[in-house]
Each structure stands twice: as C-alpha cells, then as structure tokens.
Structure 1
Amino acid sequence: MVRERPTDFDTRLDLAELLVTDKLTDEASLVLREALALKPDNAEALRMYAGLCYERNSLEEARDRLETAARVGPADPKSDLLLSRVYLGLGDKHRAQAFYQLALNQDPDLEDKSLSASIGLAESAKRVRIKPAGDEHALDYESSPTGISFKDVGGMEDVKEQLRMNIILPLKNPTLFREYGKRIGGGILMYGPPGCGKTYISRALAGEIDAAFYAVGIHEILDAFLGSSEKNMHNLFETARRNAPAVIFLDEIDALGQKRESGSWGRALRGTVDTLLIEMDGLGKPDKPILVIGATNTPWAVDLALRRPGRFDRVIFVPPPDQGAREEILKLHLRGKPIEDVDAAGIASKIDRFSGADIQAMIDRATEEVIKRAMRSGKTEPITTRSLLETAKKMRPSTTEWLATATDYIRYSNQGGFYDQVKSYLDKNQ
C-alpha cells in the first residue's frame, strides 16, 4: 500500500508510528528524519527514531538522539532504560549502570534481570536513592598519563594549531602571554561530529604539556548517588588546583550545560551545573593555571551560561578526519591483520567525511567478509584495497546527518559567529 506523503510534523509523526507498528522500519526512519528536520528538538520523535537506530545497531546515533531528548523533553524512564542498553552495546558498563539505575528510580517495574546481569549490577545496588552528598560518596580523581602526543595524530593540523595557540604556548610561556594581556587557563569548548577524535586529540594534547591531565565523563561525576554530584564536581576542581598547572577534560559537557529549566532531568542536574559555573568563574590564577576542555557532539544544546567570557568562550571545531588523518586511522586499525597491497592513501582519498568510527566499522565489515572467504577456502585470505573499497561503497558517512543539522544552525542560529569554523569547513569541502 502506497501512502500519500505527509507535509506537516504531526502527520509525519502519526505515520511513523503506523510504520513502526507494521514493522516497516526503513520507511519509518525516513519519515522520522523528515519530521525531525521540521522539529529537531521534539523529544517524542527523537526517542522513536533512537529506538529504530538501536534496532539497526546504530548505537552512537541512538545515544546522541536519546541524550538530546533527555535535555529537551520531560523525563522518560523507558528512554533511560534504552540508553542503558545502548551504552552496554557501546561497551560502557559504567554509564549503562547509571542510566539503568535512573530508570528504576523513576519506575521500579522496569527492572530487567537480564540487563542487570549484563551490566554487572549487584542486586543490592539496583535501586539507588537520591540522598544528600557526603564525603563517603565523593569521588577521588587521579591524573592519567596518555603516552601519546601530537606526533601520533595524523592530519588535523588546523586543530593542532588552535590547541598550540590556546593551550600549549600560554602554559609554556605564561609571562609572555600575560605581558600581552592574554588569559592563561580558562575554558575551551571542543565540538564536532561523534567519532572524529575529540577525546584522542585531547589525550595527545596532554602529552604535549607538562601538566596534570584529568579526563572525566559527566556520568562519572553524577555516578550512582546523584546527590553527591556537586561535591564530585568541586572535588575535581580542587584536585586540579592542588596539582596545577592542570587540564580537565569534561566529556559530554552538553549534558551538564543543558537548559537548566527543562524537565525533571534538568532540575536534577541544576546543582551540578551551578557548581561548574562557580568553579569556572574561580579559574584564572596566573601562578596556577587550569584549563578546562568541554567536549560535545551537540554544541547547540550547550547552555549559553557556559559560553560567557571566562567560561567556555573559546571554541574549537573538530571536523571529520582529513585525508592524512584517515590514512593514519586506516593504518592503525589494519595493524596486525593479514593484508595485501593495501593502498591506505588511495582508500583515504575515496572515503571523504568518514569519521574515525566509520573507518573502524568499514574495516570490521570488510574483515568479516574476508573471514567468510577464508572459512570457505580453508586458508588465510588477505584484506585488500578492493575489499575495503567495496565495503566503503555500501556505507554512508555517519557525519552526514550531523553536518546537515549544523548547516541549519549556521543558516538560522549563527549569532556571534559560533559556527563559523563549521561553515569554513563546509565551504572548503563541498
């Protein structure tokens, strides 16, 4: 049966529900993408689309959609439960536990013994009561050596140069920068599509500077005892101050910097956000500089309060890997595998806008096909340029949708030139 194409959001959403019921998931995904183009912050559409992403094993996209829905819509325990399953699929049991517990706090009937066992959650810890922060629940933080530096990062020269000017040189030459009235330390917002190396290049940055490095995800700060979140945040900054100069890397900063008045999720995080704002306002001692890098896949969801002067007012866009970076990522993930005459440079030139995660997925899929051939032939079959390119032709870069969304924000919400770096990238890579 051919349905007439709807033209408004509500009709699209109704049609998507019917298509999901009829198990026509590809058609439902298409209609939901059209609906989200009209209302990108509609929580119901985001959650429905995330469910379809989860079914087709697009876990990173499912995660991003669910996280966005949590920021813009009311609390939804079923979505938190799905997010737990998504994080389990991504191999992050810590966050899977946090969202599973959050779901049970809201609706105890959602208990899933199979999921609980998979994420390693003890029976006594399934139900977590939100209670006042206390020292017994506060987290301790230790700096972590990374063992890599910029020489280990292929390509990304523009990003490296911005990091040198904004971080490395001020920390290594504080007197010179102070003479010119330049701030030492402070905050930088690092954003871009998922899987493009924000975390990796930040770890490489730590290898470039003689400073303590603290990489912390938002859910590590929230942990199980949500009432202790403010103290965890304060302890993180206190630890950094004691060991300054220091760099704090806050992953998923958008989860903290959401609109604080939105839904019960926003209310639960309000104290943590306020604590972060206070800590950011207290930075800037010239003798003990602290730099805070906030990383996000969804810069449009970051609270404007976090982007005021003295907070995350410096912005660095981390684009999809350029050709040099793609070539290095290919070599890295092919290391140790049986290969034959693989032209990494040639392949890299044909997979424009592939993220690092896309490249890894391409290699994994090509490897699976080669293994099938090896099982049929009874001998080791090599991975070749041809097998990799054949796999690449069947894939669509995961960055495409992110860049399409960013284009809308460039067109309608680029106040102050916030997205100018994305615009420059798109102008050069049409």
Structure 2
Amino acid sequence: MSAESPLIQSMRKAVAAAPDDVPLRLHLAELLLSAGHGDAAVGEVSVALQHAPGDAQARELMVRALAGTPTNISDEAALPSPPQPPVPGRPPNSVAGPPQDPAAGQAPASAPASGPGFNWKAAEDQVGDVVPPRFVEAPLTVDGSGDPEGVAAWDVERPGAVRLADVGGMQEVKERLEAAFLAPLRNPELRRLYGKSLRGGLLLYGPPGCGKTFIARAVAGELGANFLSVSVNDVLDMWMGNSERNMHELFQTARRQAPCVVFLDELDALGGKRSRTQSAGMRNTVNQLLTELDGVEAEANEGVFVLAATNVPWDVDIALRRPGRLDRTLLVLPPDGPAREAILRYHLRERPIENVDLGKLVKATDGLSGADLAHVCEAAAEQALLDSARTGTVRLIGMKDLLAAAGQIGPSTEPWFASARNVAMYANDGGMYDDLVAYLKKKRKL
C-alpha cells in the first residue's frame, strides 16, 4: 500500500478541523479509496454514517469501500458495474452492489444505494472494531418505565479504606462513636447478653465545613460496612408520591446491602419540622422517613446504621429525635490542635514548602474549620505562584505565606455560633444542647 499523498494529508487536516462536516469526510474517504487505502476509507465512511445515518452517498461509498472498488462516486452511474469477486471470509452476496439490469448489464441510474442485496448486518460486524458504539442503552422494564430491571437505583459504596484513625484529633467524637456503634459490633457476645440491637441512629450536628461527612465515611470503614450517601436531590421529586417511593427504595437498598451505613446529608431539608411546612408532599416525605427508621418489621433495619448530618438541628422534626430513631446526637466542632495539624499536613503534602513550623501554624489557625484550613493552604500556594510568575524565579511556600493567609481568612464558623448561641441559651429543652453550651462557655462565647 502506497503512502498517503500530500492531498490526502491536507484533507485529513481539514477533516480534523471540521469533524462534523459529512461531505468533507466523504470526499476524504473517496480519495483514500481511489488511492487503495480501503480500510482507512471504511473508517472515515463509518464516522460519516454516525453523523448522517441516512446519507445515500455515504451508504453507497461504504458498499464500494467494502467491496474494494476505487471508482469515483460521480462517475459510477455512467459506468458499468461488473460483478464483484467474492471476498475471503465473507459470505457470498454479503456485499452486493445495486441490482443489475440483465438487458443492459449495468445498474439503473435511479436504483437506490441500499438495495435489498446489501447485507448491512455483515457490514456492521466488519466495521465494529473500527467504530465503537455511540450509545450504551440499558434495557427497559417490562412496563417501559425506563429503569433497568435488576439494577440498583442507588450507588452503594463498598467498604472503604477510611478509618477513624484517619480522623485527626476529635477524641471525644471517637469515644461517642465507639459507644454508639463500634463496641456492640466488635463484641457480639456482650451485645446479645445486654440485648443491644445492631440498629442505630446518630445525628451529627455542628458548623459547616468541620468534617461530618468524612466522619460518617470513617464509621462505615470502621464497621466494614457499605456506605450509602443521600442528599435532598436524591429523594425529593416534583411528582406527588415519588419522594416517598424514593425514600422507601433507599432503605430497601440499604437492607439488602446490610451491613450498611446510610448517611442522610442536610437532614433539615429531608426531615424539617412538619409544623412549619405547608407542602403536603414534604410532610408525607417526613412521615415516610419516620416509617423507614422504625422498620416495617421488628428486625427490618438490623444491620442498617443511620447517620444524619445537619447544621441546624433545631429545624429537624422532633419526631425524628425520639428514642429508637435518631435518638443520639453528636456535636462536631471545629478541629482541635491535633486535627488541625493533620489537616494542614494533608493539604501541604504535595506542595513545595520550606521551613514550615506546623506547631506555630496550628496555633495561628485556632477556630478555623477544616474547609478554612484547606483555603489557607490554597491561598498561600496562590501567593507563591503569583510571586514566581512576576519575578520569573520559582520560590517555595514558606511560613510567611501561610501566616499571611491565616490572618486574612476569618473563621467561617462564626455566623453559625452566633445563631447557635440563642438556641443554647433559650431553647435547650431537656439538655439537648448541653455539649454546645459547654463549648460556648469554654470559648467565652456565652
């Protein structure tokens, strides 16, 4: 096979610049076929047929390319069309041209390119390796609803590598989690002795950006359980009844995948106080969540651990907090010293730094959330990058950059504590927020 001519190379560049131009691609295929590059011509025509499946010129050119006939399209109607020799490995007549006129010995000018003699299935098999399928369509259900049968509607993450040991500091949080979930699972004999069920519900609350989702993943990893994360967009639906169905399917999936940790993010949106909403659909969704937490049968939720997170626990429906449901609460505060050191070390691990005193930096970032600490590292890297771009000399990130960034970034948790202070002072019924009151007193914010 000869090398491609300069004309063909120029046409390839033109096609690459306008990949959706079907006539241009067909012209390239015609040139390739005339030059004896049959396989390359088949590939180009196949792409053209993806863009224009009904294009008669493309289909006719595919017939000739597969048959190995390097004749110009414009001249084919005027030239006789001799019988095509059989191609090795291909059934006879699998690639036949237009119907022949027995009297004249040539194809009629008005004969369609896709005559009944052409085997498109054989052609599809031949070019299958050249052109991959454009779409992968899942089979529909029997009723045609569009949801594939036997395929879970929820993405369940398998037990991950994140463990509680990966959570820096936060010793009090770890101890509460140990008592609520981990100790009963690690000691099945004691669990049976004391009648402790494997069912459980824990509400994580606190200011945003302090790692509630990460802690939930760590609990799943510690339990060796599957992890199912759910947000408001996964459940709520505009059609009446669909939200309740979604909630039921969520818990059914968790029960089938037990042991499984179900993480309900932004619980105040999924389980807000029914007395404050005028939407019947929203109230029904909360009712369905209550039903699923109880379990239809006595042991329905055995092995299903429900963790929920919210920034505003005082907006969560009180029925969700009764014993047997999300009856235990855990305050997740801004990271303490060891946690801040672990977070800073993580975000600086792949950045070019020099002479960074983590102890000093940890003290300078007291009160910042995990998201704030990530922002500090990002801002310091940005400053070093800008200086390097201006001077033309690459420099490393130093303490000066990090301390300057920490000084400019105020704690994003302050607005949350401002609103939580009123709740701790005037709405701490039954000591529900005693841990929050203790923290505010410790920080002299109460």
Normalising by structure 1, what TM-score? 0.65
Q: 1:223 to 1:326 in 2, by over 3 A?
A: farther
Which residue of the other structure, out of 153, 176, 179, is the alignment partner of 1:140? 153
1:142 counterpart letter in structure 2: D
Q: 1:188 to 1:135 in 2, by over 3 A?
A: farther
Task: For 2:195 and 2:435, locate their aligned partners in 1 and report how far apart those are by CA, in whole Å.
Answer: 25
Q: 1:233 to 1:139 in 2, by over 3 A?
A: farther
Aligned residues: 296
Q: Find the counterpart in structure 2 of residue 128 from structure 1.
A: none
Task: For 1:352 and 1:287, locate their aligned partners in 2 and report how far apart those are by CA, in whole Å.
Answer: 41
- Aligned counterparts, 1:112-191, within 5 A: 136=147, 140-145=153-158, 146-191=160-205
Say yes or no: does 1:228 pair with 2:242: yes
C-alpha displacement of 1:429: 3.5
Q: Find the counterpart in structure 2 of residue 279 from structure 1.
A: 292
Q: Find the counterpart in structure 1 of residue 283 from structure 2.
A: 270
C-alpha displacement of 1:261: 3.7
Do 2:277 and 2:283's aligned partners in 1 also have CA atoms closer than 8 Å?
A: no
Secondary structure of 2:324's partner? coil
Task: For 1:135 and 1:263, locate their aligned partners in 2 and report how far apart those are by CA, in whole Å.
Answer: 32
Which residue of the other structure, out of 279, 299, 302, is the alignment partner of 1:288? 302
Q: 1:234 to 1:414 in 2, by over 3 A?
A: same
Secondary structure of 2:364's partner? coil
Task: For 1:206 and 1:161, locate their aligned partners in 2 and report how far apart those are by CA, in whole Å.
Answer: 16
C-alpha displacement of 1:267: 3.2
Q: 1:226 to 1:326 in 2, by over 3 A?
A: farther
C-alpha displacement of 1:143: 2.2
Do 1:190 and 1:295's aligned partners in 2 also have CA atoms closer than 8 Å?
A: yes
Say yes or no: does 1:421 pair with 2:427: no
Task: For 1:395 and 1:386, locate their aligned partners in 2 and report how far apart those are by CA, in whole Å.
Answer: 14
Once the two structures are superposed, residues 318-358 of structure 1 have per-residue CA deviations (whole angstroms, 9 ceiling, x without a partner) of 11101111111111111211111112222112211100111
1:267 counterpart letter in structure 2: A
Q: Unaligned 5+ residue runs, structure 2?
A: 1-144
Q: 1:152 to 1:281 in 2, by over 3 A?
A: same
Identity across the alignment (%): 46
Task: For 1:376 and 1:287, locate their aligned partners in 2 and report how far apart those are by CA, in whole Å.
Answer: 61
Secondary structure of 2:306's partner? strand
- Aligned counterparts, 1:226-375, within 5 A: 227-264=241-278, 266-282=279-295, 285=299, 288-375=302-389
Q: Which of these two proteins has the greater Rg computed from alpha carbons?
A: 2
Task: For 1:328 and 1:246, locate their aligned partners in 2 and report how far apart those are by CA, in whole Å.
Answer: 28
Q: 1:349 to 1:270 in 2, by over 3 A?
A: same
The structure 1 segments of at least 4 consecutive aligned residues displaced by more than 6 Å after TM superposition are none
Once the two structures are superposed, residues 7-35 of structure 1 have per-residue CA deviations (whole angstroms, 9 ceiling, x without a partner) of xxxxxxxxxxxxxxxxxxxxxxxxxxxxx
Say yes or no: does 1:219 pair with 2:233: yes
Once the two structures are superposed, residues 100-130 of structure 1 have per-residue CA deviations (whole angstroms, 9 ceiling, x without a partner) of xxxxxxxxxxxxxxxxxxxxxxxxxxxxxxx
1:271 counterpart letter in structure 2: N
Task: For 1:382 and 1:224, locate their aligned partners in 2 and report how far apart those are by CA, in whole Å.
Answer: 52
C-alpha displacement of 1:174: 3.6
Normalising by structure 2, what TM-score? 0.62
Q: Find the counterpart in structure 2 of residue 203 from structure 1.
A: 217
1:237 counterpart letter in structure 2: F
Do 1:171 and 1:289's aligned partners in 2 also have CA atoms closer than 8 Å?
A: no
Q: 1:355 to 1:241 in 2, by over 3 A?
A: same
Deviates more, 1:188-197 or 1:165-174: 165-174
C-alpha displacement of 1:420: 1.0
C-alpha displacement of 1:286: 8.9
Larger RCO, structures 1/2 (Cα 8 Å, 6+ apart): 1
C-alpha displacement of 1:135: 8.3
Once the two structures are superposed, residues 374-410 of structure 1 have per-residue CA deviations (whole angstroms, 9 ceiling, x without a partner) of 1111121211112111121122101112122212111
C-alpha displacement of 1:226: 6.5
Q: 1:404 to 1:190 in 2, by over 3 A?
A: same
Q: 1:245 to 1:139 in 2, by over 3 A?
A: closer
Do 1:171 and 1:185's aligned partners in 2 also have CA atoms closer than 8 Å?
A: no
C-alpha displacement of 1:178: 3.8
Do 1:414 and 1:420's aligned partners in 2 also have CA atoms closer than 8 Å?
A: yes
C-alpha displacement of 1:139: 6.8
Q: 1:226 to 1:365 in 2, by over 3 A?
A: farther
2:285 counterpart letter in structure 1: T
Q: Unaligned 5+ residue runs, structure 1?
A: 1-133
Q: 1:418 to 1:333 in 2, by over 3 A?
A: same
Secondary structure of 1:382's partner? coil
C-alpha displacement of 1:289: 2.5
- Aligned counterparts, 1:35-184, within 5 A: 136=147, 140-145=153-158, 146-184=160-198
Secondary structure of 1:339's partner? coil
Do 1:195 and 1:355's aligned partners in 2 also have CA atoms closer than 8 Å?
A: yes
2:381 counterpart letter in structure 1: T
Do 2:295 and 2:301's aligned partners in 1 also have CA atoms closer than 8 Å?
A: no
2:289 counterpart letter in structure 1: L
2:269 counterpart letter in structure 1: A
Task: For 1:135 and 1:168, locate their aligned partners in 2 and report how far apart those are by CA, in whole Å.
Answer: 40
1:407 counterpart letter in structure 2: R
Task: For 1:357 and 1:275, locate their aligned partners in 2 and report how far apart those are by CA, in whole Å.
Answer: 34
Q: 1:177 to 1:225 in 2, by over 3 A?
A: same
RMSD: 2.3
C-alpha displacement of 1:275: 0.8
